[in-house]
């Protein structure tokens, strides 16, 4: 099957999914001998647009895993703003070394329901947004080699297609409930309402945190105030060069400590074709 264009589409708060989708989409375009376009749907304004695809196009669509599924506040945009119209798609999730549980199954189901034909899928490890102690430095060069290999194998599969393929088979259950985060005591850690705090002695009011918040939750005139919905994505924490932002919610910190204790052993990427 001929492909006219590869398009990498990603929602990525701390950069892992962006890096992963960019690598795979560019390698795929090279292997297919066609142009590559990238669409960042992380900022609220960018997510509001509808992206229409056409037969003959190949979309590489990426999302992080949040609580074992797609981020629930972003799910409606994945469901309604990406229109496949018979284009092929590669589903990509990243995860922070615990598990991708059901996120890849959910993404592939959303893509199929949105008019795409899923031809391949992959779950790739990236540094956990909550802590540098899980998968620090990933995706690394080894991961990039695996992404390139995945792209090459996907291109070979697409070139060999004579008709639209049936949905790619991936593990997990798209309808499964969210993973319940636990604390170090093994009990559910309830931190839904937690919001980042700001150290006034470090903050220089540069406004970066408010600009990068994918929920538009931080007040641009007073960055210490977070009137909107915080999804704990850590974009503001990671992008503040003065380490002025932090979480102090005890339940959140207990969950992070539990992850560090239980999920430090490096996990592997998994691909499905």
What is the binding site for ligand SF4 (CB under 6 A)? 196, 198, 203-209, 213, 215, 217-218, 223, 226, 230-236, 240, 242, 244-245
DSSP letter (8 states) at residue 89:
E
Task: Candidates 23, 26, 94, 198: give the one binding ligand FMN (CB under 6 A).
Answer: 94
Cβ atoms of 39 and 7 within 8 Å: the answer is yes
Tokens of residue 271, six digits: 């691909």
Tokens of residue 155, six digits: 């291109």
8 binds, among ligand SF4, ligand FMN, none (CB under 5 to 8 A by kind): none
Using DSSP bridges, classify how beta strands 88-95 and 117-125 pair: parallel, antiparallel or unpaired. Answer: parallel
Using DSSP bridges, classify how beta strands 270-272 and 117-125 pair: parallel, antiparallel or unpaired. Answer: antiparallel
Considering the complex, what minimum distance in angstroms separates the CB of residue 93 from ligand FMN? 8
Considering the complex, what minimum distance in angstroms separates the CB of residue 226 from ligand FMN? 15
240 binds, among ligand SF4, ligand FMN, none (CB under 5 to 8 A by kind): ligand SF4
Task: Candidates 6, 17, 24, 213: give the one binding ligand FMN (CB under 6 A).
Answer: 17
The nearer residue to ligand FMN, 215 or 233, going by C-beta atoms, is 233
Report if residue 65 touches ligand FMN, rule: CB under 6 A. Answer: yes
Q: Tell me the C-alpha distance between 18 and 14, whole Å.
A: 8
101: left (phi over 0), alpha (psi -120 to 50) or beta: left
Considering the complex, what minimum distance in angstroms separates the CB of residue 94 from ligand SF4? 16
Cα dihedral 98, 99, 100, 101 sign: negative
Considering the complex, what minimum distance in angstroms separates the CB of residue 150 from ligand SF4? 29
């Amino acid at each position: 099957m001929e492909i006219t264009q590869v398009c990498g589409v990603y929602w990525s708060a701390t950069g892992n999914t962006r890096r992963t989708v960019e690598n795979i989409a560019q390698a795929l375009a090279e292997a297919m001998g066609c142009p590559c376009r990238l669409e960042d749907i992380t900022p609220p304004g960018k997510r509001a647009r509808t992206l229409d695809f056409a037969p003959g196009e190949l979309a590489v669509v990426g999302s992080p895993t949040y609580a074992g599924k797609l981020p629930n506040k972003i799910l409606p945009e994945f469901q309604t703003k990406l229109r496949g119209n018979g284009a092929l798609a590669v589903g990509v999730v990243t995860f922070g070394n615990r598990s991708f549980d059901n996120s890849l199954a959910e993404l592939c189901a959303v893509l199929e329901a949105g008019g795409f034909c899923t031809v391949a899928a992959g779950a790739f490890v990236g540094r956990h947004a909550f802590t540098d102690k899980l998968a620090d430095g990933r995706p690394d060069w080894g991961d990039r080699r695996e992404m390139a290999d995945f792209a090459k194998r996907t291109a070979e599969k697409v070139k060999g297609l004579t008709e639209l393929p049936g949905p790619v088979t991936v593990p997990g259950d798209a309808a499964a409930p969210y993973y319940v985060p636990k604390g170090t005591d093994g009990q559910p850690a309830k931190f839904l309402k937690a919001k980042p705090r700001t150290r006034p002695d470090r903050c220089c009011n540069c406004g970066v945190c408010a600009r990068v918040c994918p929920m538009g939750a931080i007040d641009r005139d007073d960055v210490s105030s977070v009137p909107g919905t915080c999804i704990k994505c850590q974009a503001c924490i990671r992008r503040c060069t003065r380490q002025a932002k932090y979480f102090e919610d005890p339940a959140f910190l207990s969950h992070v400590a539990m992850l560090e204790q239980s999920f430090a052993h490096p996990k592997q990427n998994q691909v499905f074709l």
